[in-house]
Structure 1
Amino acid sequence: MELKKIDKDFSVCKIKDLSQVNLKDEFYFIGRTDEELSLVCETGSAPAGTLEREDGWKAFRIQGVLDFSLIGILSKISGILADNQIGIFVVSTYNTDYVLVKEGNFEQALRILEKEGYEIAD
């Protein structure tokens, strides 16, 4: 399975409303529940007025379109990284999953996954 590095810096934010989010950006993920409104975006596009914000994330995506019938893909990746004490933050789209890792652990995470048989694409 191929993993593609995304050459951008990301932030994970808790925001009050969507008015400061640039919906024309190439990458952003918005999640809303009854308890919060979250935003994952490129660090340079993070709104100034976030309620909480954590910078320093890097990301890779699982290449290709993942059929909903596929089971355990994300579980295996997260398990490998958890076994190596590397935390992740995941967002999913209709087609695939995006795995964010803190910048200080990112290259190590990719090396570990490559050692486990994953192909890493730039």
Structure 2
Amino acid sequence: MHAPKLLLRELPGDYAVSRLAAGSDTPDWVNGPGLVTVTSAEDETSILCLRERVPAEVKQSAGWTAIQVSNLFDFDEPGVVVAATRPVAEAGLGIFVVSTFDRDYLLVRQDSLHRAELAWLGYGHRVQRGQLFLRNAEISDCDAIAAFHLRIWRQTYGAIAPTAAVEALNFDRRQEQWRVKLSGNREQSVTLLAEDEQGQLMGLCDLTGSTISGFEDALEITHLYLDEKLRGQGVGRYFLNLAQHIAQRFRKPALVLEVVRENTAALDFYRACGGDPVAEQTYRGPLWPSDNVIIRWSSDL
């Protein structure tokens, strides 16, 4: 049996699970927006709703985030709940499930949300953030990634890099680069893609063991590119937050990246996201010996 691939979408708000005495009437404060479930059992009445509506004197467990399994499955479709819960359980996180006629919903702790998202992505599921859809890259994505990489890199560095480097780093070269990367050993590597509703690539974050001199024990962001339409919407910060969690999962003490010194917009952005400029090095590549700033984040979240 093949496990179904899921689309998981976070619902806004802080959720709480409350306990009332068995046989209690449904209180008026239950009614309102968001996901609501009321379960009556022989020994209790349990209510799930947004925390803001639960009176302080009611016994409750708060700090939960609700995740919708957005796919529609038949009632007897096998493996849906297992596909949703196994990745999170294997990541050592708590989770519980509630279901409606159409869908399943997962509740995870708010402070564990990014770890849960990474667990789902690692199992081949997709995670929706607003109008974007995140997933792990596959070897079949090489052409789309190469074209996106080429376009954003030239927009960013076309006026900075030597003409010979701009011309040499063409589609064929990028395609081969990504083919080798995605077909190689991925044990300590992750490539995350963000797509729009039409499947158009809009963002890319690639991570692997660092090759930066003096920072070989860190996890390196080798590529972080966003379509200009996404800039200023928090997507870059979200990628960086996921990257820090990945570094922690790989037991790396830090997250690092190199930024060309002339790319002042990127330097300002990474500083604003808590990155610490810790060193400067000259990249000794054959096409462009650029002067780079090393940015570092601790993986201790």
Residue 60 (structure 1) aligns with: 67
- Is 2:108 the partner of 1:101? yes
Alpha-carbon shift at residue 66 of structure 1 (Å): 2.1
Contact conserved, 2:37 with 2:47, CA < 8 A, in 1?
yes
2:46 aligns with 38
| Alignment match of 1:116 (pick from 123, 127, 149) | 123
The one-letter amino acid of 1:3's match is L
Q: Which residue of 1 aligns with 2:19?
A: 14
CA distance in 2, matches of 1:25, 1:14: 20
Displacement, 1:94? 0.7
Q: Which runs of 5+ in 2 are unaligned?
A: 1-5, 130-301
How many residues align? The count is 121
Instruction: Please give the secondary structure, in 1, of the residue aligned with 2:33.
Output: coil
**Structure with the larger strand share:** 1
Q: For residue 114 of structure 1, report the CA deviation from its aligned partner.
A: 1.0
Aligned partner of 1:8: which letter?
G
Cα distance in 1 for partners of 2:10, 2:33 equals 18
- The one-letter code sitting in structure 1 at the alignment partner of 2:39 is G
1:3 is aligned, of 8, 12, 23, to 8
The separation in 2 between residues aligned to 1:24 and 1:56, in whole angstroms, is: 18
Displacement after TM superposition at 1:22 (Å): 3.1
Greater mean alpha carbon deviation, residues 19-28 or residues 80-89: 19-28
Unaligned runs of 5+ in 1: none
- Residue type at the aligned position of 1:19: P
The 3 A distance-change label for structure 1 pair 48 and 20 is: farther
Structure 1 residues 40 and 109: CA distance shift in structure 2, 3 A: same
Letter in 2 for 1:7: P
What TM-score do you get using the length of structure 1 for normalisation?
Answer: 0.90
Deviation per residue, 1:5-60 (Å, 9 max, x gap): 1121100110243224332433211111111100111011113331x211110121
Deviations 1:51-78 (A, max 9, x none): x211110121110322112111111221
2:36 is the counterpart of 1:28: yes
- 1:11, 1:53 within 8 Å by CA — same for their partners in 2? yes
% identical equivalent positions: 23
CA RMSD in angstroms, aligned pairs only: 1.5
Higher mean alpha-carbon deviation, 100-109 vs 40-49, is at: 40-49
Taking the aligned partners of 2:83 and 2:34, their CA distance within structure 1 comes to 28
Cα distance in structure 1, aligned partners of 2:79 and 2:68 = 15
Write the letter of the residue equivalent to 1:5: E
CA distance in 2, matches of 1:77, 1:106: 14
Alpha-carbon separation, structure 1, partners of 2:32 and 2:108: 24
* Bigger Cα Rg: 2
Instruction: Kindly indicate which of the two structures has a greater share of residues assigned to helix.
Output: 2
Residues in 2 aligned to 1:66 and 1:8: alpha-carbon distance in whole angstroms = 25
